[in-house]
Amino acid sequence: MLKGKSAIVTGSTSGIGRGIAHALAKEGVNIMTNGFGDTPETIAQVKSEITAFGVQADYNPADVSKPDQIDAMMDATIKAFGSCDILVNNAGIQFVSPIESFPLERWDAVIATNLSSAFYTSRRAVPLMRSKGWGRIINIASAHGLVASANKAAYVAAKHGIVGLTKVTALETAKDGVTCNAICPGWVLTPLVQKQIDAAAAKAGISKDEEAKNFLAEKQPTMQFVTPEEIGGLVVFLCSDSAKQITGSAYSIDGGWVAE
Ligand code: NAD
């Protein structure tokens, strides 16, 4: 039922976003990919992975922390595909520091990239979706949208914020055939997490594999990383007709993280 629809997936040149883009493309959805500072080789590779599913792919270099660049990406998507039926707000960054030494500039960057970006895209997507009587907005939050960890002030604040934004967007679109939900993954072994594992391993003087096990042991009872493919599967379900009464929810996919 998604065949011929079009989606924007922010931050889809890496990790989770790339997995989501593949899962939607497999269902026949045309994809506007997006990322920050990607090389021409990466962009070509990302696009060819999507067109291999027999759908159209484009790339937009919008820095999602900048509202004017989001506007340009929305305009380019309408021009390329006619509309934006599915919006996946996925782009995100991390910064780890105790609150007293958390750099102001990093706070602003994390809030703008992980939270304000979803407001900038949603305010443009909602009228488009409403006019068609169908739409899906999926915000990639985190287990950190529901519970906290030390040294992640900006990330945890942004992810709790995006769960709140999800609920407001759901209420404002409830009668319009549009749903808005959040997905809250636990650890997924992407570059964003690998950097944290590498830093912690170097600090503790142990191997990266050993530190990866420590990350899982601390938070994720299944002791396994969630995969981008599994998150892509959940996105496809939330876009399906079976999920049309699911709106304003925050779905955990975290190996049991927030159950503890
Ligand atoms: P990643 O580093 O592999 O990919 C991040 C993507 O976002 C890249 O495509 C990058 O180019 C893009 N991006 C970063 N800043 C951008 C900007 N200003 N404008 C446009 N694009 C930008 O990270 P990931 O692990 O795949 O994370 C994706 C999302 O999932 C993030 O919102 C992250 O917070 C969330 N998440 C990740 C995990 C995890 O364990 N990896 C867990 C929970 C939630």
CATH number of the domain to which 32 belongs: 3.40.50.720
pLDDT of the chain, 260 residues: tens digit per residue: 899 999 999 999 999 999 999 999 999 999 999 999 999 999 999 999 999 999 999 999 999 999 999 999 999 999 999 999 999 999 999 999 999 999 999 999 999 999 999 999 999 999 999 999 999 999 999 999 999 999 999 999 999 999 999 999 999 999 999 999 999 999 999 999 999 999 999 999 999 999 999 999 999 999 999 999 999 999 999 999 999 999 999 999 999 999 99
Domain count within the chain: 2
Ligand 1 neighbour 193 (Cβ under 6 A): yes
- Whether residue 258 is contained in a domain is answered as no
Give the Cα separation of 33 and 48 in Å (integer). Answer: 11
Within a domain: 1? no
Query: pTM for the whole thing?
Result: 0.98
The answer as to whether 247 is a domain residue is yes
Full domain range(s) for residue 197: 188-225
Specify if 52 maps to a domain. yes
Between the CA of 17 and the centroid of ligand 1 the distance, in Å, is: 7
Could you identify the atom of ligand 1 that is nearest to the CA of residue 228? 26
Cα of 85 from ligand 1 centre, angstroms: 22
Please identify every residue annotated as catalytic. Answer: 155
Q: Is 43 within the bounds of a domain? A: yes
Q: Is the CB of 92 under 6 A from ligand 1?
A: yes
Based on the fold, state whether residues 39 and 65 are members of the same structural domain: yes
> 165 and 216 in one domain?
no
Q: What is the pLDDT of residue 156?
A: 98
